[in-house]
Chain A
Amino acid sequence: DIQMTQSPSSLSASVGDRVTITCQASQDISNYLNWYQQKPGKAPKLLIYDASNLETGVPSRFSGSGSGTDFTFTISSLQPEDIATYYCQQYNNLPRTFGQGTKVEIK
């Protein structure tokens, strides 16, 4: 199975800060990498697919990059409504696997 390692596991930042989360795959997954946002008590929401494609309706302050084994997710200017846990997920291979999540809080 492909292991997805996210870091950090949690972070605290101020409104307006740039926030960066990394996700490392245990083997080459090309660009078959998605990012989700999950708020407490809610289902995950797809933000970015294929490493860098912004899902329709998602604010442009969210972005993603990377290929192969190393990926980055960025919030360019953190907003209060961005408080959530973020997950990466690979779909290069079965089983689909998720990172362990990064909890983003406001400082």
Chain B
Amino acid sequence: EVQLVESGGGLVQPGRSLRLSCTASGFTFGDYAMSWVRQAPGKGLEWVGFIRSKTYGGTTEYAASVKGRFTISRDDSKSIAYLQMNSLKTEDTAVYYCTSSSRRVPRGAFDIWGQGTMVTVSS
């Protein structure tokens, strides 16, 4: 079964850091780009960024709202994608989802999702 499981969420003070993990199973993780999408309480979906597979250079792209503060990385040997969040702001409070695209759909369509992990930034 194809699965993504996020972990690492919690309560953190403004200005501090937090690292989220996304553990994949049921597919060849290294072949796929991994994305992060977030959803603030009661709000819509916001794309955070993604990391390409090593085949495509393993490079990253970010939304302007997190660029320079968030870093996405991957460990293909462990099938884990990470979202390192630094200099957190109250507006980063959200459920964070990791997501990916299976071979059945275009690379820009997200058909594999984790259950999400809640990050609360508050003093």
Contacts and interface: CB of A to CB of B under 8 A. Distances in A.
A46 B45 contact: no
Interface of A: 1, 32, 34, 36, 38, 43-46, 49-50, 55-56, 87, 89, 91, 94-101
B105 A49 contact: yes
Interface stretch (B8-16, B23-31, B74-82, B109-117): B109-117
A99 B43 CA distance: 11
**Most chain A CB within a 10 A radius of its CB, from B44, B46, B99:** B44
B61 A46 contact: no
B2 interface: no
Interface of B: 35, 37, 44-47, 49, 61-64, 97, 99, 104-111, 113-116
Contacts of A50: 106, 109
Contact of A43 (B35, B64, B106, B114): B114
Contacts, number: 62
Question: What are the 9 tightest A-B residue pairs by CB atom distance, in nearest-first order?
Answer: A91-B108, A43-B113, A49-B109, A96-B47, A46-B111, A98-B45, A101-B44, A34-B109, A95-B63
Given A49-B106, A95-B64, A43 B115 contact: yes
Nearest to A38: B45
B47 A44 contact: no
25 contacts: A32-B108, A36-B45, A36-B110, A43-B113, A43-B115, A44-B45, A44-B97, A44-B113, A46-B105, A46-B111, A49-B105, A49-B106, A55-B105, A56-B104, A87-B45, A89-B110, A91-B107, A91-B109, A94-B61, A95-B47, A95-B49, A95-B63, A95-B64, A100-B44, A101-B44
